[in-house]
Amino acid sequence: MKWIIEWRERCTVLRFEGDLVVGATQFFETGLMPWLKTPFIPILLDLSDLRIIASAGLSALVKLRHAVEATKIPLVVVRPSREAWQVLTIARFDHLFEFVDSAEQGVARLEESVG
């Protein structure tokens, strides 16, 4: 698992490569949460490579949602793979964030919001 960071003109793209299972959630949280302390940078969280999400991963997403609400940082999330998306849909997490189909769509959405 790893983080890939890409700085754009009006947002930061954080791409998580790995699965959200026990043991990976701490890496996920510690890699993401510091970015929420920079209140002027909208974030695109790219989960397109995420294949497996376990209950620990769902818990990490809830923590992320609370942090986003507390900081008011614009956040858009690229949908994960079909398998992980099904888990999010069944758990009713598909409305937890603003999800988009691609990184390009997410960057465009964030650029519109800060525009």
Q: Where are the domains of the chain?
A: 2-114
pLDDT in tens, 6-56: 988 888 999 999 999 999 999 999 999 999 887 668 999 999 999 999 999
Looking at CATH, the fold of the domain delimited by 2-114 is given as Transcription Regulator spoIIAA (3.30.750)
Using a 10 angstrom Cβ sphere, with 0-12 exposed, 13-18 middle and 19 or more buried, the burial of residue 15 is: middle
- In sequence order, the 6+-apart residues with CB closer than 8 A to the CB of 106 are 13, 44, 46, 76, 77, 78, 100
Helix (H) or strand (E) holding 57: helix 55-71
> In this predicted model, what pLDDT tens digit does every residue of 44-90 receive, in sequence order?
999 999 999 999 999 999 999 999 999 888 999 999 999 999 999 99
